[in-house]
Each structure stands twice: as structure tokens, then as C-alpha cells.
């Protein structure tokens, strides 16, 4: 977990060397536009405009929903075949959705693909209810996680990004989340490059029109509501360079995509081909408390109506949230009712994950040695098996390290950390993590 100095995570690095650029003329009179381009190797900001101004995230919200699901998968609470129950409320969410009926289940991997390609609101809500017990609780968990990641100006109210006047974020915070997804979950991040998948005899095609059209683009997420404008977070990896770029408040899908393409073209050549020590792990010695968030009373939350038309041209397909207005408040199950409609799942810690995470904030030295952690698992045998597999695949980078499991307990549940210890410097630990990530292991560098 984080120290207070480390809570800023990527934000501290992103601010350093920030290049603030004037708003493009086309958006000079817009109260929605914001953008940022970050070198994901070093954390340096290459471009920013209104990067810290409050904006509506729309379906970019689903990036955090997926972050929480990926954490649950790494903690052993969920696997890709886990059936996620769909409540009446989740099934009733407005389009776009995958169309699962109340009382049915959806495999976790299908839910992931549905969020990434279709931006399915029913699947997102089902995930939130499954992991949090209710959508309200899950929104609290999402907001608390945002704080841990350094997203200082983000508040979540739901799992799907449908309109809520209190659900706000910034371009900088979305860049932090995009980088965190790439760095923390290198294996799962590959899902974001999915352009289509087959489900129950039909092909579900994605909304991200830059995939396959702009060289190096490998995700991440689109979003749109009337209040937000057209949003997009893009990840780019090419010739050793990595960018995460955010455009919020685009005037159309085509205009947003064209602006993103121009930012990538201009700033990718300026990105570093090598990483510094910006993305280094840090931890906190105090337990995480769920961030208190004043959420709306369940029956007061209106359900939006969806628009049938879509943008023609390059940006076509941002129909995940074509919301034009809020209908009269529709009945919504209270949290207790929603929780009763889904199967309970075991929890280890408030967010179902080990309280260790990565940070771009410097930790102030090598303080007594470093370890690298590749997982937190529910049994010692699973932890040992993961360590053995990592040692076999990583080669010489782990020769001087010692495999070790450590236990920690949360809410009467025991978990086992899988770690390699004995690294003398943070650089050595980071280098080992870089190799492990290439082998599709999640990896955190941890000061001992």
C-alpha cells in the first residue's frame, strides 16, 4: 500500500515536465474539451490542455470497472470462466448492452470482452454488483481505488458510466488509469486490443476505430454522452516507445478520432524508448479504508433513455452511451434488493486484492533491499506453483533471488504472497519485473 508521499502515483511524474499547450481552435469555445499525452515509459507529460478540469468520463468509467475485475482475478476470487449473475436491475440498463436476461449468468471473460468492444452497460453493472454486493458499494470501492492510484479528481457513482452529474474525472486521471492498467495487468491488457468477438451466434464488433488503423494503437476505451462529448483513451506501443493519450469532449466520433491520431503522430516520435525509474512500486503501512462517498438514494437515480441514431463516418459506433436526456425516474432496486439477487463471493481485503501496488512516486532510497511480487493467492500451493513457473520462464534475472511466500490476513481470510526477495536495489527489482511482465506475469517491486 502507499505512503502519503506515494499516493500521487503517476500524477507526480506526469506533472513533472508538463507541457501545457493551448486549446486547438476547434475547441476554443468548448467547455467539454480536455486532452493529455503521457510517455508511458517515463511518466512525462508531452502535451496537455485542460488536463485537470473536471469532465464527465462516460464509458471511460468501465476502465476502472475492468481494473477492479482484473484485481479480483489476480487475487484468485474470479477466473475467466466464473459465472457472473445478472440481476433484474443490471438487465434493465439501457443500451448498448449484451442482452443477458435477469437471472442468467455471463462468464467473466465474456463480460470483459463485452465491456471492451460493445461497452455493454448490463455487463458492467453485473460486474459491479458481483464484486461490490451492490452498485452503490462498488462505486465506493472504485472511488477508493482511484485515490490509491493517484486519481485525485475522480468520483465514481456507477460501474457503467451512464449519466450522473456527480460522476466526474479529468484527462490526467484517465491517463493514470490507462497506464495503471497496462503496468499492473500486462496479460489482461491484451483484451483491450479486441476488435470483435462471437457471442451466442453473433459477432459483437467494437467501437474503437483506431484499432487496426493507426500503427501501434492497442486499446483502450471510447465513451460518449451528450454532456461528456466524445471521449477516448488510447494506448500506443511502437518501436519501444509507449504512449497513453486522452481526448475528452470531442465534437463527434470522427473529429475525436482524427484529433487523437494527430496527437499520436506528433508526440510518439518524442517519447522515450527506455523506461526510467518513474514507475516504481511503493507501499503503505496502514490499512486501506474505503473512501466515504455520498451516493444518491437508490430510488432517486433516474434511468436514461438511449438514442437510436449514430455518428456516421470514421467515429461510427460510439453508441455505447448515445444518451440525449434523462427520463422520469424509473424504479431501481435498493442496494439490499440488488445484493440479494446475486451470489455472494468471498473477500480477503476491501478490494479483494493484496494491499501492494505500483507507483510512480519515488520512495526515497533503497531502504533495506527490494523484492518483486507476482501474485497473492488463496493457497500456499498455488503461490509456490506460480513462483516455480516464473523462475523457470524468467531465466538469469532471478538467479540471485530467493522465492518466498508470505501470508497476510484480511477479514479472517488468509492469502499468500508469491515473492522473489534479495534484490539489493530498486533498479534490480524493476529490471526483474520488466522481464517477468514480458513473460505475462503481473509484477510489483516492493521495498523491504
Binding site members: 221
- Cell numbers for 253, please give them: 466520433
Whether 165 is catalytic: no
Whether 193 is catalytic: no
Instruction: Return phi, psi of residue 138, to 5°.
Output: -65, -40
Contacts (Cβ under 8 Å, ≥6 apart) of 312: none
Please tell me which residue in 32, 48, 97, 119 is annotated as part of the active site: 119
Contacts (Cβ under 8 Å, ≥6 apart) of 290: 140, 141, 144, 350
CA dist., res. 232 & res. 260, Å (int): 8
Q: Which residue in the block uniquely carries the three cell numbers 460486474?
A: 127
Instruction: Give the residue from 255, 247, 258 showing the smallest Cα distance to 220.
Output: 247
Instruction: Give the residue from 301, 289, 292, 260 showing the smallest Cα distance to 159.
Output: 301
Q: Report the binding-site residues for substrate.
A: 221
CA dist., res. 371 & res. 428, Å (int): 9
Please tell me which residue in 62, 145, 237, 242 is annotated as part of the active site: 62
- Cell numbers for 60, please give them: 471511460
How many other CB atoms sit within 10 Å of the CB of residue 10?
A: 29
User: Do residues 398 and 373 make contact, with C-beta atoms less than 8 angstroms apart?
Assistant: no
Whether 62 is catalytic: yes
Please tell me which residue in 32, 48, 59, 87 is annotated as part of the active site: 59
The catalytic residues are 59, 62, 119
Amino acid at each position: 500500500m502507499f505512503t502519503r508521499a506515494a499516493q500521487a502515483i503517476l500524477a507526480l511524474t506526469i506533472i513533472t515536465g508538463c507541457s501545457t499547450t493551448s486549446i486547438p481552435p476547434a475547441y476554443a469555445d468548448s467547455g467539454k474539451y480536455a486532452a493529455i499525452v503521457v510517455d508511458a515509459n517515463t511518466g512525462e507529460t508531452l502535451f496537455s490542455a485542460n488536463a485537470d478540469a473536471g469532465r464527465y468520463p462516460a464509458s471511460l468509467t468501465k476502465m476502472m470497472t475492468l481494473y477492479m475485475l482484473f484485481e479480483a482475478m489476480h487475487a484468485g476470487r474470479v477466473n475467466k470462466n466464473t459465472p457472473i449473475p445478472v440481476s433484474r436491475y443490471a438487465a434493465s440498463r439501457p443500451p448498448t448492452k449484451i442482452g443477458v436476461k435477469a437471472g442468467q449468468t455471463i462468464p467473466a471473460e465474456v463480460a470483459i470482452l463485452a465491456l471492451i468492444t460493445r461497452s455493454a452497460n448490463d455487463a458492467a453493472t453485473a460486474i459491479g454488483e458481483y464484486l461490490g454486493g451492490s452498485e452503490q458499494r462498488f462505486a465506493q470501492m472504485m472511488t477508493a481505488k482511484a485515490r490509491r492510484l493517484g486519481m485525485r479528481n475522480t468520483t465514481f457513482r456507477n460501474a457503467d458510466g451512464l449519466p450522473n452529474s456527480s460522476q466526474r474525472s479529468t484527462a490526467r486521471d484517465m491517463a493514470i488509469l490507462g497506464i495503471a492498467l497496462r503496468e499492473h495487468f500486462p496479460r489482461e491488457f491484451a483484451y483491450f486490443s479486441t476488435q470483435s468477438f462471437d457471442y451466442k451466434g453473433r459477432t459483437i464488433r467494437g467501437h474503437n476505430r483506431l484499432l487496426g488503423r493507426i500503427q501501434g494503437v492497442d486499446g483502450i476505451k471510447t465513451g460518449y454522452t451528450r454532456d461528456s462529448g466524445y471521449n477516448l483513451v488510447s494506448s500506443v506501443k511502437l518501436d519501444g516507445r509507449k504512449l497513453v493519450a486522452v481526448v475528452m469532449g470531442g465534437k463527434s466520433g470522427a473529429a475525436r478520432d482524427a484529433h487523437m491520431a494527430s496527437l499520436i503522430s506528433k508526440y510518439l516520435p518524442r517519447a522515450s524508448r527506455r523506461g526510467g525509474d518513474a514507475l516504481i512500486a511503493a507501499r503503505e503501512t496502514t490499512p486501506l479504508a474505503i473512501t466515504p462517498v455520498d451516493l444518491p438514494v437508490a430510488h432517486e437515480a433516474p434511468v436514461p433513455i438511449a438514442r437510436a441514431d449514430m455518428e456516421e463516418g470514421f467515429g461510427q459506433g460510439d453508441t455505447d452511451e448515445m444518451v440525449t436526456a434523462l427520463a422520469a425516474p424509473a424504479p431501481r432496486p435498493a442496494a439490499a434488493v440488488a445484493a440479494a439477487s446475486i451470489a455472494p463471493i468471498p473477500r480477503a481485503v476491501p478490494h479483494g486484492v493484496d494491499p501492494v501496488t505500483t507507483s510512480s512516486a519515488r520512495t526515497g532510497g533503497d531502504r533495506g533491499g527490494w523484492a518483486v511480487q507476482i501474485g497473492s493467492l488463496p493457497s500456499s500451493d498455488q503461490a509456490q506453483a506460480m513462483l516455480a513457473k516464473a523462475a523457470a520462464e524468467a531465466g538469469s534475472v532471478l538467479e540471485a533471488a530467493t522465492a518466498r511466500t508470505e501470508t497476510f490476513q484480511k477479514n479472517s481470510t488468509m492469502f499468500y504472497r508469491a515473492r522473489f526477495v534479495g534484490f539489493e536495489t530498486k533498479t534490480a527489482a524493476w529490471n526483474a519485473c520488466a522481464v517477468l511482465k514480458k513473460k505475462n506475469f503481473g509484477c510489483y517491486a516492493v521495498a523491504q
